[in-house]
Structure 1
Amino acid sequence: MRAVYFENFGVLPDIRTLPDPTPTPSGVVVAVKATGLCRSDWHGWMGHDADIRLPHVPGHELAGTIAAVGRDVRRFRVGDRVTVPFVSGCGHCRECRSGNSQVCEEQFQPGFTHWGSFAEYVAIDYADQNLVALPPEISYDTAASLGCRFATSFRAVVDQGRLKGGEWLAVHGCGGVGLSAIMIGAALGANVIAIDIAEEKLALARELGAAVTIDSRTVADVAEAVREISGGGAHVSVDALGHPQTCCNSISNLRRRGRHVQVGLMLADHATPQIPMGRVIAHELEIYGSHGMQSWRYDAMLDMIKAGKLAPEKLIGRRIGLSDAPQALANMDRFTESGITIIDPTA
């Protein structure tokens, strides 16, 4: 198979011909039809993720058809259209048994714990517990865009943030995660405030349902601006970027008893940000992490997509071939892309 491949962190990957994967007894091999390019992939390539062992093939947002099936797989067969959460579970630990495979004690992640989907084929273990069958009306590109950013945002806003119609939602950072959260918040009937430094991204945020946008370069205090606009602060606030400043702003702009959800990764030098703990205590704020979404929760999200309440395809910015993926991966730290980049491994 052709795949994006690197042997050293931070060194531009190249395209290699590698052996095709084979399924484990409980796993499958997926012929990748579309895979998303995510900033998490950039963090992995830079060596910020301890799970990666070199040499490596990145990629964790994928959709495709099953090409081979292990002998113990019962729910899926060759030819099925599928996607998979980027955090997958073992199916037998206490977290998986409680329905929380997104924090599985033995979790695995394509593109991190093993070779990923920037390739023509990818192996997925524990298929019966982790694969999601794709409805025919959802394209491979759309499904790939769900895998990390959109599904994580759905869980962050709906399950962790418990956002309700009429509440105020602040979203810090209008990349793929942030734009997903904005669309989901608007679909739930919330009043969404989008914060970013790029007018192009803020314009897209307004198209996707943001009631108010803030260019953080033009205000002296982002948290104060959000509190003023929302009449006391956001009920729910999401740091969709993953930076000490956006994390602090997101907590500080909450109203009393508000809920902060951290989605943007905090790695390397940003791993231990300072937060306004005095405000957290005095205002009884709630702070949550959000790390993927269980495969069984996809039905709720897919139902909203099929009903036309969510349109994740609007978040797709561009489509590229596999040969363009190495340079696109290296450029992920520049925050220049509006929307999600989809890689077609067959191109």
Structure 2
Amino acid sequence: MLGVYLPGDSTVDLRQIEDPAPGPGQVVIAVRASTICGSDIRAIYREHIQGDPAESYQNVVAGHEPAGQVVAVGEGVSRLQAGDRVAVYHISGCGQCDDCISGYQISCTSPQRAAYGWQRNGGHAELMLADERDCIVLPDDVTYQDGACVACGFGTAYEGLLRAGVSGRDSLAVVGLGPVGLAAGLLGGKLGATPRIGFDPSAERREFALRIGAVDEAVDPTDPASRVAAEWHVAVDCSGSTAGRATALATLRTRGRLVLIGEGHGFQVEEASPQLIHRQLTVHGSWVTNLAHMRELVERLPVWGLHPEVVVSHAFALQDADQAYRIADAGQSGKVAIVPNPA
């Protein structure tokens, strides 16, 4: 079968590899959609981050946002069967530590922890091997591209909004209108937040966010005439930039809640008393999501009438993965999907 590897230096390597066979507790999935995450671009495609075990790419098939159809099951598999449609939670933990037991495999620190697309083969291939415990069954009304978007991006946004307790009592500011920011705006609206404002210097991304209804207003934070006022109940930074986090902080009203989702760069607070303490702000760091919340999210999507695939602006065949990564790396698009096996 064909698989995509990311050797760094902004290149894509297509290789012919053997088809996987399921071991005990494992399933083989025919991948129907595998979306590209910003962390793939930041930490693998451009360069290979070393030192942090969670971001140490081990020369495996890339892609940690897969969804597809089960085609084979191994010994001991009891919940899934061939034909099931699933998304894959992209970190497989030890299954024994407190974090794994609570569903936060993302925080597992065991040497056994292995993320799909980082330390074990991921979804940029025709077939992938996954542990049954990492698979989430998709409702009939949830598409494969919906499932792939949930596998990381929408799950990450949902977790952040849950941390802040977003509800119909809140207004919402989203900083960074890339795929995760789009997800935060769409999900925030379903949770009742209104109005919703988005901040991004890219005119293309602002226009796309408005077109799909992710925000009610989209603003260029670099424009001196832009409205960056301290009037929002919740601000979610999805940019991962120092400037973006400063914008998010500046938008909050007294007793507001800030959620930091985007990774990378710094967070600068010059004076804690006037900037945090006197304004009585709450700051949440939120990393991916847990398995229960991801299951909850895919179950809510049909109820809300929300299809996460609305954020997908480009889709490519597996053979065109190089072009897919180049568009994702440009940072001007919505979500980019690779479709190894069209449904």
Same fold by TM (over 0.5)? Answer: yes
The corresponding residue for 1:47 is 48
The corresponding residue for 2:117 is 111
TM-score by length of 1: 0.87
The corresponding residue for 1:9 is 8
Do the aligned partners of residues 53 and 144 (structure 1) sit closer, same or farther apart at CA in structure 2, a change above 3 Å counting?
closer
Do the aligned partners of residues 277 and 302 (structure 1) sit closer, same or farther apart at CA in structure 2, a change above 3 Å counting?
farther
Contact 1:42 1:330 in 2 (8 A): no
In 2, Cα distance between equivalents of 1:251 and 1:216: 13
Q: What SS does structure 1 have at the residue aligned with 2:76? A: coil
Is the counterpart of residue 210 in structure 1 residue 215 in structure 2?
yes
Is the counterpart of residue 144 in structure 1 residue 139 in structure 2?
no
Alignment gaps of 5+ in structure 2: none
Q: What SS does structure 1 have at the residue aligned with 2:114? A: coil
Q: What SS does structure 1 have at the residue aligned with 2:199? A: strand
The corresponding residue for 1:20 is 19
The CA deviation at 1:54 is: 4.3
Contact 1:41 1:329 in 2 (8 A): no
Match of 1:66 among 64, 70, 94: 70
Match of 1:234 among 232, 237, 255: 232
Q: What SS does structure 1 have at the residue aligned with 2:59? A: coil
Contact 2:198 2:217 in 1 (8 A): yes
Q: What SS does structure 1 have at the residue aligned with 2:234? A: strand
Alignment gaps of 5+ in structure 1: none
Match of 1:274 among 260, 268, 277: 268
In 1, Cα distance between equivalents of 2:24 and 2:75: 5
Contact 2:142 2:307 in 1 (8 A): no
Do the aligned partners of residues 26 and 196 (structure 1) sit closer, same or farther apart at CA in structure 2, a change above 3 Å counting?
same
The CA deviation at 1:309 is: 4.0
Structural RMSD (CA)? 2.2
Do the aligned partners of residues 300 and 53 (structure 1) sit closer, same or farther apart at CA in structure 2, a change above 3 Å counting?
closer
Is the counterpart of residue 264 in structure 1 residue 262 in structure 2?
yes
Number of equivalenced pairs: 331
Contact 2:315 2:324 in 1 (8 A): no
Deviations 1:139-193 (A, max 9, x none): 1122112111111111111x11211213121101111101111111122221211
TM-score by length of 2: 0.88
Do the aligned partners of residues 209 and 14 (structure 1) sit closer, same or farther apart at CA in structure 2, a change above 3 Å counting?
closer
The CA deviation at 1:53 is: 4.1
Deviations 1:36-84 (A, max 9, x none): 0122111222213644344332101111112332323221122211111
How many percent of aligned residue pairs carry the same amino acid? 32
Contact 1:137 1:306 in 2 (8 A): yes
The corresponding residue for 2:340 is 345
Contact 1:57 1:111 in 2 (8 A): yes
In 2, Cα distance between equivalents of 1:29 and 1:136: 20
Contact 1:171 1:240 in 2 (8 A): yes
